[in-house]
């Protein structure tokens, strides 16, 4: 009797599983992460911020005037033997003292014209036009 019950129990448990595994299934495409498309659609590709370099050399900013898109990162490199600053006239940004070889970077998040100068050498001027 014990063998009969065990056999029936195995049949009851195994037969439904066998039926499920033998059914044909339609292939479904793999889901994408978070339901987002795998490739960006035209016109919606993420943009990498522009990185613009300004060299401080010979007591001038090179170039002194630049035009950049919103989100751009501007990096100033001091290649002079003396200290300089990159200070916005409206105090939006200020590098502090930059000894020779130091850099200062700022990300321009808003449109506008940003005038800047060097505090120790106020005749050194430049501007960034953000469009």
The CATH number of whichever domain residue 113 belongs to comes to 2.60.40.420
Q: Which domain holds residue 74?
A: 51-130
Q: Answer yes or no: is 109 within a domain.
A: yes
Averaged pLDDT for residues 67-85: 98
Q: Answer yes or no: is 90 within a domain.
A: yes
Around 11, how many Cα atoms within 13 Å sit in the side-chain half-sphere?
6
Name the one residue in this structure whose structure tokens are 């044909």.
24
Q: Answer yes or no: is 34 within a domain.
A: no
Sign (positive or negative) of CA dihedral 40, 45, 46, 47 = positive
Q: What is the pTM of this model?
A: 0.65
Q: Answer yes or no: is 94 within a domain.
A: yes
Averaged pLDDT for residues 9-25: 48
- The radius of gyration of the chain from alpha carbons, rounded to an integer in Å, stands at 33
Alpha-carbon distance of 7 to 18, in angstroms, equals 16
Would you state the pLDDT for residue 44? 53
Whether residue 30 has pLDDT greater than 80: no
- How many structural domains does the chain have? 1
Tell me if 59 sits within 8 A of 80, measured CB to CB. yes
Determine the length of the chain.
131
Query: Across the chain, what does the average pLDDT equal?
Result: 80
Segment (H or E) for 114: strand 112-117
């Amino acid at each position: 009797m014990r063998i009969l019950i065990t056999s029936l129990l195995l049949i009851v448990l195994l037969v439904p599983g066998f039926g499920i595994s033998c059914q044909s299934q339609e292939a479904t495409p793999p889901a994408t992460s978070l339901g987002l498309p795998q490739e960006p659609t035209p016109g919606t590709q993420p943009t990498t911020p522009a990185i613009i370099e300004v060299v401080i050399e010979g007591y001038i900013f090179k170039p002194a005037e630049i035009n950049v898109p919103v989100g751009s990162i501007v990096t100033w490199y001091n290649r002079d033997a003396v200290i300089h600053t990159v200070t916005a006239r409206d105090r939006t940004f200020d590098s502090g003292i930059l000894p020779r070889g130091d850099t200062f970077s700022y990300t321009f998040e808003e449109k506008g014209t940003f005038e800047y100068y060097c505090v120790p050498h106020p005749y050194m001027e430049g501007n960034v036009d953000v469009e």
